[in-house]
Structure 1
Amino acid sequence: MRFLVRDRLLGFGEDYWIEDERGQKVYLVDGKAMRVRDTFELKDPQGRVLVDIRQKMFALRDTMVIEREDQPLATVRRKRLSLLRNHYRVTLVDGTELDVSGKIADREFAIEYDGELLAVVSRRWLHVRDTYGLDVVREDADPALLIAVTVCVIQLSEKERED
């Protein structure tokens, strides 16, 4: 299942749609501006909130938390420094860990579980400027969770570059 995401050009607080490969709007990333911490909601086309994404306020490293129905679902944080690639670790509430690695700023990275590919984020297959694709490889994977992870990783990466 492939999704198309247009990069936010104007920065934080912008809402943007994620489309499926047929061009239909399937998810809305609703950025909540004017908050002390970065906050997003991932909504379906009818406006129902599927997941909440928030920056964790008191953490040693920048951390974002993904919640579903006010229950913690996952925590996303940068792994130790790497010279060649960015690495992020996603810890699900059940203890499962996902690895995110690649060139985050270039929108070229992969999301894996225990060495198995779950999703690929890439601009390579697209010819539309400022757009990247999210290809969910496993059919049993949760697309909303993988989109939320992608939003977190890109937000953390951009924040890190600003600092």
Structure 2
Amino acid sequence: MSASTSRRPLPAIAFLLVLSILTVIVWWRVLHRPDAAPQTAGPTPSHSASCAPAAKALTLPSPGAVTVNVRNGADRYQLATKVTGELKSRGFKVGQPGDAPPLTGTAEIRSGIAGRPGATLLSYYVPGAKLVTIKRSDTNVDLILGSGYSVLAPQTTVTKAVAKSRKPC
């Protein structure tokens, strides 16, 4: 038989103890870090990118300069027709309402690059809508209403939010 060697378990135990403590500290920090503000369906989308020094300021058009095509992706009877009427009463040019494939979430506002200012303006009216850039050469904007859509933002709220977005940083 071979000669017995004496092992020292203390360094290994100390190493495992230190490693365990570090693991607990890392997980504690991960689980208790301050999270970003939750996304709510507030009337003002985040436009902080316009405050960056290299970013171009986006000039919002008047509602009368924006043509909106409303589509019902919520499968609710006459929803697109109702919202089309509401947008028209708020000064937007509107196309014929229609249907769209089912959409979860509040809404999507789809536009090409040329229609981005109009889409941004419309995003103030539809809290929680997602802006989507598509290949399109005109300035028309498509509003696809999803199952989470409820109402347009009140005009006073929209007016305040638009005025706030025009203030310099």
Q: Which has the higher contact order (CA 8 A, sep 6+)?
A: 2
**Normalised by the shorter chain, which TM-score bucket?**
under 0.3
Structure that is richer in helix per residue:
2
TM-score by length of 2: 0.25
Higher strand share: 1
Q: TM-score, normalised to structure 1's length?
A: 0.26
